[in-house]
Amino acid sequence: MAFDQTWEQIFKSQSWGKYPSEDVVRFIASRSKSVPDCGKIRVLDVGCGGGAHTWFLAREGFDTFGIDGSESAIRQALALLDRDGLKANLTVGDFTQLDYPAEFFDVIIDSSAVQHNSFSNIRLIHQQIWNLLKPGGYFFGILINTQTSGWEDAEKLEENTYTNFKTGPIQKELLVHFFTESEVCEIMSGYEAFNLEKTTRTVSNGRDQYGHFVVNGRKPL
Ligand SMILES: C[S@@+](CC[C@H](N)C(=O)[O-])C[C@H]1O[C@@H](n2cnc3c(N)ncnc32)[C@H](O)[C@@H]1O
């Protein structure tokens, strides 16, 4: 069991992530240009949280699935879908144990969710993501990186994994694994057409820095 119940406390007391990120929208827009019927494309939103991307995917007409460990997050996601008369298959569950048939999904997205796990669990999750993707299917991820401030004075749990943040943009009690480029290359090593971008921006009026890798790749046929 890797799911951190801190998330349930967060989602119980606030709504999180109502709007989809530009990076996800760009990726989906670029991939769906050539798709004649989105309804035939099965997409999984791993760690869907309050459902911003699940909502976007369902609205675009994809056969949409989402999983999150927080019941309150899934409730928020369902409310967002309901508001606009949209449907998705949502599950409350720990995504270190993804219970879907092998080669079930055409696309799997991770928008800043898998990073909230230890690196050994991240490896485990990525083995499963690989198994769940159809040959020719795509993985897309937004992964926080070591350019983000706050880890310097946080509590170190393992290499690049921290909790108990005192400064920086991360909520104090969360567990975060900050990816290095070589770790991203390791988890993406089987994919072809691998694309890796980096974004770094300041937050809190320039006081803190947020860095991410934005990656995608295709499982070979
Ligand atoms: C930063 S939020 C991102 C939510 C959403 N993807 C978004 O972009 O708005 C991280 C999410 O991952 C979920 N999560 C983290 N580790 C998990 C695990 N092992 N199993 C299930 N959910 C997990 C949390 O509950 C939370 O909803």
Q: What is the pLDDT of residues 23-79, one digit of tens each?
A: 999 999 998 888 889 999 999 999 999 999 999 999 999 999 999 999 999 999 999
Whole-number average pLDDT of the chain: 96
User: Across the chain, how many H-helices and E-strands are there?
Assistant: 6, 10
Mean pLDDT of the 8-29 span: 92
pLDDT tier at 180, thresholds 50, 70, 90: very high
Q: Which of 48, 90, 142 to mutate to test the pocket of ligand 1 (most atoms within 8 A of CB)?
A: 48
- pLDDT of amino acid 1: 62
Q: How far is CA 34 from CA 27, 29, 146, 191, in A?
A: 13, 10, 35, 20
Three state DSSP letters for 147-207? CCCCHHHCEEEECCEEECCCCCCCCCCCCEECECHHHHHHHCCCCEEEEEEEEEEEECCCC
Could you tell me if the CB of 165 is within 6 A of ligand 1? no
- pLDDT of amino acid 15: 81
Q: What is the Å distance from ligand 1's center to 185 Cα?
A: 22
Ligand 1 atom at minimum distance from 50 CA: 9
Could you tell me if the CB of 48 is within 6 A of ligand 1? yes
Interstrand relation of 133-144 and 89-92 (parallel, antiparallel or unpaired): unpaired
Specify the pTM: 0.97
Q: How far is CA 107 from CA 23, 35, 65, 112, 115, in A?
A: 15, 13, 10, 16, 19
- pLDDT of amino acid 79: 96
**pLDDT per residue as tens digits for the range 79-119:** 999 999 999 999 999 999 999 999 999 999 999 999 999 99
Q: What is the Å distance from ligand 1's center to 36 Cα?
A: 31
Going by alpha carbons, the residue nearest to atom 27 of ligand 1 is 49
